[in-house]
Amino acid sequence: MPRQTLQMKRWKRVEYERLVDRGVFEPGDRLELIDGLLLVSEPQSSPHYTAIRLVERVLARAFGEGWDVRAQAPIALDDASEPEPDVAVVRGAPRDYSTSHPAHPVLVVEVAASSLDFDREHKASLYARARCPEYWIVNLLDRVLEVQREPTPEPSAPYGWDYAVVDVLSPADQVSTLGAPAIQIAVGDLLP
């Protein structure tokens, strides 16, 4: 018997948003549109959620007025991707995005345990392709912060882009974000 090829439907961001507006998904469904495919997000353990809250608070203090620090909110990266990073920082205020999701975050943060490999490979490539200048992974398994900068074309990456610079920082280290370079953040303040 010949093998049958599976057909997959890739969604456009506008199609996905229409499904959301029509109530196709249940409240609490944790879905993200990643390069046209719907991804079910990782369940949140107590350490995972605690880290999200810590990152959100630290970044809100670091960036201050004129910036919106968004937790688990959609980012309109391109026509085929609308991820919901654990934390993202965008210019402006919440009301600036009442009619459409922001498209150009200056910093995206994912908190990772079971999703660590996916966040390193796929999410990094996705955010780099969208030219997000800075991507952080709060790595709960190794208790470090992985800081990725300088998006650059990389043909071997899943979406053709990756970050040229990756630094791994321990809880005792300090980090500053490109969007608020004068503020030093203790990496330990981001970890539960």
| Cα(72)–Cα(101) distance, integer angstroms | 12
The tokens for 9 are 């439907």
Looking at residue 170, its pLDDT comes to 98
Mean pLDDT for 170-177 is: 97
Distant-in-sequence, close-in-space partners of 182: CB < 8 Å, separation ≥ 6: 176
| Cα(28)–Cα(41) distance, integer angstroms | 11
Looking at residue 3, its pLDDT comes to 64
pLDDT tens by residue, 73-126: 999 999 889 999 999 999 999 999 999 999 999 999 999 998 899 999 999 999
Give residue limits of the domains in the chain: 42-190
Q: What global pTM score does this model have?
A: 0.85
DSSP 91-107: ES-GGGGSSS-----SE
| CATH 3.90.1570.10 for domain 42-190 | yes
Question: Closest Cα partner for 78 from 145, 142, 11?
Answer: 11
8 Å CB contact between 103 and 118? no
pLDDT tens by residue, 8-45: 778 888 888 887 777 777 777 777 778 877 777 766 78
The tokens for 52 are 């999200």
Question: Closest Cα partner for 187 from 65, 28, 41, 59?
Answer: 59
